[in-house]
Amino acid sequence: MTTSRGRHYTGLQQIAVIANSGLTFRRTYNAIARTVAKATDMNGCRILLLDSKKEYLTTVGAYGLSDLYIRKGPLDARKSLPEVLAGNIVVVTHAPTDERVQHPEVAKSQNVLFIAGIPVILGEDTIGELRIYSKESRELTEVEKDFLKASANLCAVLLDRAQLAQFRDRIDKSRAKATEVSTPPRIAVNPLKPTEFAHESEAEFAGLLDFYQIEWLYEPRSFPLAWNGAKISQMFTPDFYLPELDMYVELTTMKQDLITLKNRKVRRLREQYPDINIRLLTKKDFMKLLAKYGYGSMGEAKVEGVGRVLYSHTQIQRRVRAIARKISRDYAGERIVVIGVLKGMMCFMSDLMQYISIPVRVDYMDISHYSGDGEVVKITRDLDSPIGGQHVLMVEDIVDTGMTLNYVLAHLAAHKPASLRVCSLLDRKARRLANVKLNYVGFEIPDIFVVGYGLDYKGEYRNLPFIGELRQDWGGHSQARLTA
């Protein structure tokens, strides 16, 4: 036991030295993985980081594991040792038969029997995992658990430090551009991406994915393509995996010999793995792909005037479906009248109706604002059909001050409906003046100007499939929506 404690103490000392060594991100965590494996007498170790949605685990450092094992496929955090997400240490004594192991067949082929997962916790939030592997079935002692928890805590501190460095770098870049615009752009801190790209085109591609809020994993899987007897002689590792599209992407330049070589690998991969969706893309091809899947224009640049994408088309649709399910449950056995105020809610209301599973009748209103001493809000188009005694659902694109909504609700209440509720895609509480109740809300946003998915600026941007923040230096805008 003394020898074991000594190894653990030495291991923690080595991790501290590694933390201050100035190594690159990847090399730092590879070195930590090696130290942890040696200190616990394991065959391998891996450090994994959760993505922003806490759905997938990405390797940031590894030691002692084959490339095939590391790149066997994207790890779903809900299928691969899911108890670790709740902050628990998980021990698997026979990986090939344990249902908590996502790829048991690969564990069997690589002779991995024992796996232990330790949560990497920052504050109260699980941000990743530390995993150790052995070819022998065994148990963890309490001393080993203490060492692994201490190592995971050090990993959390290093990840937090790396994120802070990334944040400061963005601030410096923002200040460097301050002379170009009157107001520095808003800094959106993306989750730390645990990657050192092999080529600048990959970094550019990742930046484009981040702008459109498309989730991505970098080089998450390697596919064996050729064998020499029992040994793998050729493997292919696509550059990116896009979970929302279930698509692997291999990037290429316009250089013909490179295109030919990669086309050959992609063709062979498709032949051997027909269920895998993979695309070989140039930058031009990718812009066309974005347009096809509804993420944005086919232009070479980001949408002019949009500083960042807050919610992608996929995120919006996922949230709209969830709201529709709740509405359908709440009104089960009833018929409802869905009412919208033109024009901003048109995209949201159209999609919402498709997912509601109970009978729905639709009606519309239109209003105008006046700045004189008289009536501030006036209804210019009233309902086509009576709503007395019926269940009414008012659908809004965005609610901020609540003044106009309060006026419209009073007008509808005068018709004596059986019930009256409000569903809004966006809620901007920072501007609230009137005390209005929102029964269903898509997203709560800060006090910023947003466009897209029906929301406009001077009549434009309504047709964008996502919701984005308009740049602060774009036209001196001031968002005062009719649907407030």
Band of residue 101 on the pLDDT scale cut at 50, 70, 90: very high
Band of residue 41 on the pLDDT scale cut at 50, 70, 90: very high
Whether the CB-CB separation of 406 and 394 falls below 8 Å is answered with no
For the chain, the helix, strand and coil percentages under 3-state DSSP, each to the nearest 5 = 35, 25, 40
Section 106-122 average pLDDT? 92
Section 76-100 average pLDDT? 93
Beta carbons within 10 angstroms of residue 275's beta carbon: 5
Q: CA dist 68 to 88, 102, 237, Å?
A: 27, 15, 10
Q: CA dist 296 to 135, 202, 304, Å?
A: 48, 20, 11
Share of the chain above pLDDT 90, in %: 38
Rounded to two decimals, the pTM is 0.57
Residue 461 in this model has a pLDDT that exceeds 60: yes
pLDDT for 470: 85
Q: Which of 271, 251, 198, 225 is CA-nearest to residue 26?
A: 198
pLDDT for 275: 87
Band of residue 164 on the pLDDT scale cut at 50, 70, 90: low
pLDDT for 229: 82
Token pair in block for residue 254: 């316009």
Count Cβ atoms within 10 A of the Cβ of residue 374 and give its class: 0-12 exposed, 13-18 middle, 19 or more buried.
Answer: exposed
Query: How far apart are alpha carbons 154 and 12 in whole angstroms?
Result: 9
Section 322-327 average pLDDT? 94
pLDDT for 80: 92
pLDDT for 73: 78
Residue 140 in this model has a pLDDT that exceeds 70: yes
400 as an active site residue: the answer is yes
Whether the CB-CB separation of 155 and 29 falls below 8 Å is answered with yes
Band of residue 295 on the pLDDT scale cut at 50, 70, 90: low
pLDDT for 44: 94
Band of residue 218 on the pLDDT scale cut at 50, 70, 90: confident
pLDDT for 51: 79
Band of residue 132 on the pLDDT scale cut at 50, 70, 90: very high
Token pair in block for residue 236: 């292919």
pLDDT for 171: 46
pLDDT tens readout for residues 473-484? 665 444 443 333
Minimum mean pLDDT range among 65-69, 84-88, 331-335, 415-419: 65-69
Are β-strands 223-228 and 231-236 bridged in parallel, bridged antiparallel, or unpaired?
antiparallel
Select the more confidently predicted residue: 448 or 299.
Answer: 448
Select the more confidently predicted residue: 197 or 405.
Answer: 405
Select the more confidently predicted residue: 142 or 309.
Answer: 142
User: Which structural domains are found in the chain, ordered by start?
Assistant: 2-165 (3.30.450.40), 197-302 (3.40.91.80), 313-470 (3.40.50.2020)
Residue 339 in this model has a pLDDT that exceeds 80: yes
Minimum mean pLDDT range among 284-288, 332-336, 340-344, 345-349: 284-288
Band of residue 359 on the pLDDT scale cut at 50, 70, 90: very high
Residue tagged active-site, from 384, 400, 447, 473: 400
Average pLDDT over the chain reads: 82
Share of the chain above pLDDT 70, in %: 84
Whether the CB-CB separation of 319 and 443 falls below 8 Å is answered with yes
